[in-house]
Each structure stands twice: as structure tokens, then as C-alpha cells.
Amino acid sequence: MKTAIGFLIFLLIFLSLAACNKQEDLASKIKRLEYEAQKGKSDSQYELGRLYLHGKSIEKDLEKAAFWFSKACAQDNVNALGDFGMMYFHGDYVEQSYEKANELWKKGAALGNDFCLYNLGLNYEEGAGCEKNLEKAYEYFQKAAALGNTSAMYEASGIKLKLAMQRDDFVEYLYSQECKDDLKNNQKILIKFLDYKGLIESENPELQNYAANIYESESEDEKALYLYEVSAMAGNEIGLLNAAQMLRDGIGCKKDPALALKIFKFLADEDNHYGLYETGCQYLNGEGVTKNLEKAIFYLGKAAEKNCQMANATLGEFYLQHNFLYENSDLAKQYLLKAIELGSSNALNLYNQYFKQKYEGAFKEQEDGIPIQEHTKQLAVELAAYIRLQ
């Protein structure tokens, strides 16, 4: 017991001495920084300003922080230009001024400081202390990103998207390889720059549908479904199709394959190849309706005629794997080859497996095309409204 008490006393004394030494070390460091700062060393002026700004291990003093930052800025210390600019941006001790912040950051940007470049990008994006200019914002973000600033990389992609929204071909752009390259495989940027409420109020059904697809991929199913419905109520067939798929599978709502089939049939009547395909699949699998292979073949065949990749692949597999009433290797080969031509990797695997020969043609995997066309708005609105009442 005595040994334990003795050890605790020793430990307390040791920790007290260590704390004293640390305080002495800090005091020595501040004394050294003050000496060097007064001699005109800009790095020491900046470091001293940082200590006073954040109040770490020293009493916070914004007046002294501003004093030393101004001294360092006079010598073009890029870090001081960044932090002093932030003091003006927020109005910490100094009079709040976006213009003065931009002035300091422009000096830092000219010296290649990514923090200054990034903040200038933000201000030009919002029009803070300058005229709003997305092109300039994009330029600053790009330069900061080139210096390794990851936040600037995301912001640059977002600005690129905002600029694209001004294009006449924005809908086509959304589904293009150019868009994928611009977003750098981070489509969440879209919903970062256009919040959920903003998307609902955007009155842009194609954009709503696109964003809903991202929400669905992030498992935010209720948000996805509502945006699909809003998009559909504005007459967007793809939004209606996606809402029906969620309804069929019970994602974000009560499962109702019979109602989903009604929607798919409506789209099929509009000659939408996805509607034809989904209707055929429900008859093929007996979802929400009695299984009917003849109707399945009819709807899938109509979709296949419209170069629906999935319909051709499904029919190819159907004619390979069903019983002798429908088994037809010639038709299977015909549909699989068409699906391969349209970029279906599943069809390519089936073809190589069942026909014991390697497909010799050129192959490039790709997704089914997105039909962008005029819509029969009134029926779409009625069906989308019906979904929302369930």
C-alpha cells in the first residue's frame, strides 16, 4: 500500500514538472517568435499571428493576430494573406469586408496559394465582394485543384455542372460521357449543389429524375421516389418509369406490382421501349398479373425491335432456356447477337457459353439508350398522382 502511494506521489510530481517545462518551452517559443517577428521575419510574424488568432496555448488576442498578419502580408507571406483575408471575410476584429478579403486572396493566388485560390472561387461563385462569375469561379477552383486542393476539385465539378445547366442541350448532356467526365464519377456533386427542396422547386423534370437516380443509389428511397413522381407529374416518362419500378419492388413505398404494370402498360402504349420491356418482364415472371408467355414474347419483341438492349438479351436467354415449346437456338442466337451489338455483356457471356464459340465481332459494353422524347403529359400526371395516394 505504501509503495502504491509513494508511486502516485512520484507520478504527480513528475507530471507537474513536465507541465512546468512545457510552459517554459512555450514561453521560450513565443519569446523567440516575437524577437524574430520584430526583426522582420515574415514566417515568425505569421506563426505569432496564428497563435493569437486561435488562442492555443496562449490567450486569444485578435488585435495582435491582425497586427502580425498585416506585417507578414506586407512581405507577401502567402499563408498570412490567406488567414488575414479570412479575418476580413468574417469580420474578426477588423471591419468585415469581402472586397478586402478578395484583395488579399488575389495576392496569395498570384503567388500560387491553393487556399487563396479556393476562397476566391467560392466568392466568385456567390458574388461576395465581386460580381458573380461562374467562369472565373471555375478557373480559380481548377487552379487550386491542380495544386492538390481536394475541396476545389469537387467545387470545380459542381461549377461545371451549373454552367452546363445553361446549355440548350442540358438534358442530353446529363446522360453523356462528357457529364461523367466533368463530375469525375462523383455524381453526388449534383445533389450537393442543388438541395432537395431546390430540386423539387426547380421545375426541371429531367434534372429531378437524374437527381432521384442518385438518391436511389444512396438508398435515400423516399426522396428518390418523390422526385421521380414530381418529374413524372411534369410529364417526364422516365421519371414515371422509375417510380413504377420502385412501386413494383416496394422500394420507398408499399409494394404494388399490379399498379406498376398499369403504368408500364401506359408507357408501352406510348411506344416507350422501357415500358414495353418492363411489361414483357412482368408477364414473363407473373408479377402483378397471371404469367403469360405469349404476351411476354409480344411486348419483349416490340421492345427488341426498338433496339432495347435488355429486351434482346432477355429474349435470347428465353429461347435458350425454356422448354421444348419455346426452345429455338436460331432465335436465341439472333437476339443475343443483337444484344451484343447493343453492348450487353450478359448477352456476350450467354452467347459464348451456349454456342461454344467465342464472339468474334467488336464489342463495347454500354448501357441502354435513354429515350428523350415528347410525353403524353396528362396521363403521366394522373398516374403519378395515383402513386402518391397509395
Q: Which residue has the higher pLDDT, 189 or 125?
A: 125
Distance (Å, whole) CA 202 – CA 209: 11
Distance (Å, whole) CA 276 – CA 249: 18
pLDDT, tens digit (0-9, with 9 covering 90-100), for 300-330: 999 999 999 999 999 999 998 766 677 888 8
Closest by alpha carbon to 104, among 149, 140, 134, 73? 73
pTM of the model: 0.53
For the chain, counts of helices (H) and of strands (E): 22, 0
Reported confidence tier of residue 360, pLDDT bands at 50, 70, 90: low
Distance (Å, whole) CA 339 – CA 300: 13
Question: To which H or E segment does residue 377 belong?
Answer: helix 377-388
Q: Which CATH number fits domain 273-370: 1.20.58.1910, 1.25.40.10, 3.90.76.10, 3.30.300.160?
A: 1.25.40.10
Measured on CA atoms in the order 174, 177, 181, 182, is the torsion positive or negative? negative
Task: Judge whether 153 and 131 are in contact, CB under 8 Å.
Answer: no
Return the C-alpha cell found at 278.
418492363
pLDDT, tens digit (0-9, with 9 covering 90-100), for 52-61: 998 877 889 9
pLDDT computed for residue 160 by the predictor: 81
CA dihedral angle for residue 280, residue 286, residue 289, residue 293, rounded to 10 degrees: 50
Distance (Å, whole) CA 265 – CA 191: 31
